[in-house]
């Protein structure tokens, strides 16, 4: 698990990977809330095809809903993570392990003081398509 160190701040690419490998696959909302507190600013913003969410609590609620629909899905980075200043971006896919992706997208993450301040998610395929 990512440990907070007052002398080390996470880079935007590290935060992006943590999003995929820990935060958005965590099934327990309380554990996810702790991860969000370590990784996201209090005033964080997530903009995605379904709308705009402000704050860690709202992101946790949205992630809980995603996990309810897709509890076994995992995220896989499908291309190079690109960074510029305090921003990171990458393409990704999500689905059952060992299966073709159910949906794919691109994330742009903005880091401030070692935490995610803004996350923009673009979905290539509708999240709830059959």
- At the second CATH level, the architecture of 12-123 is Roll (3.10)
CA distance 16 to 10: 10
First to last CA, the chain: 34
Concatenate the DSSP letters of all residues of 38-66 into one string: HHEEEEEEEEETTEEEESHHHHHHHHHHH
pLDDT digits (tens, 9 = 90+) for 113-125: 999 999 999 999 6
pTM confidence score:
0.85
48-95 per-position pLDDT tens digit: 999 999 999 999 999 999 999 999 999 999 989 999 999 999 999 999
Residue where the block lists tokens 């609590």: 57
Q: At what angle do helices 12-21 and 29-39 cross, to 10 degrees?
A: 180
What ranges do the domains of the chain cover?
Answer: 12-123
Tell whether the model's pLDDT for residue 98 goes beyond 70.
Answer: yes
d(CA 82, CA 87) in angstroms, rounded, equals: 8
Confidence of residue 3 (pLDDT cuts 50, 70, 90): very low
């Amino acid at each position: 698990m990512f440990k907070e160190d007052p002398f080390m701040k996470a880079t935007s690419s590290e935060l992006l990977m943590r999003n995929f490998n820990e935060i958005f696959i965590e099934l327990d909302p309380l554990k996810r809330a702790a991860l969000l507190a370590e990784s996201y600013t209090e005033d964080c913003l997530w903009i995605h095809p379904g709308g705009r969410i402000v704050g860690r609590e709202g992101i946790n609620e949205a992630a809980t809903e995603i996990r309810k629909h897709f509890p076994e899905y995992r995220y896989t980075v499908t291309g190079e993570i690109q960074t510029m200043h305090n921003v990171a971006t990458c393409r990704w896919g999500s689905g059952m392990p060992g299966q073709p992706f159910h949906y794919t997208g691109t994330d742009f993450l903005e880091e401030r003081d070692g935490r995610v301040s803004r996350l923009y998610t673009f979905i290539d395929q509708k999240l709830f398509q059959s």
